Amino acid sequence: MYLITGSRGQLGRELAKLLPNAILTDSDSLDITNADAVNEFVRNNNVDTIINCAAYTAVDRAEDDEEAAYRVNVTGPENLAKSGARIVHISTDYVFDGTSNIPYTTDDATCPVSAYGRTKRAGEIAVLENAPAAVVIRTAWLYSPYGNNFVKTMRKLGAEKTSINVVYDQIGTPTCAADLAGAIVDILPQIHDGMREVYHFTNEGVCSWYDFACAVMELSKLPCKVNPVPGTAYPTRAIRPAYSVLSKEKIKKDFNITIPHWREALIKCLKQF
């Protein structure tokens, strides 16, 4: 039996569509920071595989409340890993400092520069050290028709304003949540006890937030003009990685997965809006 935690989030909702028989939980129905509650839930529901989409993702707020982020991003995953079930754990590009200029591989040293990144990296370690089988998947720039995300924000602003400013000097790759969910479902049958691997998944290609915003406006047929500005124009509490392109070679090779380009994925996703 599959258990999806964080099922009300972007990825959780896409997974729920692909795994209709999975058990869906959120923070109201299962407190993953409570080890006894996790163990009892897993045992009573015969859960053998957990897909952990639960996370504390308020990146700036985490700078002032790292303890809260730690509970959800480290204690929670550790409890899930110790429950005896296999686990697919979703992580982030924020485990890197963003100083590279070539795509990060899973062999590259991590160096988080924010509280969010530190807790997500510690969560990875907790899962890999404690689960009977663990697959950690780092992703970035996630969007979907659900929840709050960059694409929805740009469409809203594009409908309200004649021009907006978007940073041009943060480089990465958008990820359509539906594509990530599909990859996870392909991987699930191939997980076996003793497996402890880290993978990267985003859509293919590279862009800046400015490029991404321009594509959203163009494909949504919104006349709003997008102006490129440096990240210094929008100082944030937490440091964002300036470069967070992730290499997908390992996940494509190990699981024979084909990944669409980010623009192709965006076109497909926008049809659902």
Per-residue pLDDT tens, the chain, 273 aa: give them. 999 999 999 999 999 999 999 999 999 999 999 999 999 999 999 999 999 999 999 999 999 999 999 999 999 999 999 999 999 999 999 999 999 999 999 999 999 999 999 999 999 999 999 999 999 999 999 999 999 999 999 999 999 999 999 999 999 999 999 999 999 999 999 999 999 999 999 999 999 999 999 999 999 999 999 999 999 998 999 999 999 999 999 999 999 999 999 999 999 999 998
Neighbouring CB atoms inside 10 A of 60's CB total: 13
Identify the burial level of 161 via C-beta atoms within 10 angstroms of its C-beta, where 0-12 means exposed, 13-18 middle and 19 or more buried: exposed
The H-or-E segment that residue 14 falls in is helix 10-18
**Contact (CB, 8 A) for 5 and 52:** yes
Residue 150: its pLDDT value, please? 98
> Which residues are marked as active site?
116
The pLDDT of residue 31: 98
Could you say which DSSP state residue 118 is in?
H
Q: What is the pLDDT of residue 185?
A: 98
Length of the chain: 273
What pTM value is reported for the model?
Answer: 0.97
Q: How far apart are the first and last CA of the chain?
A: 31
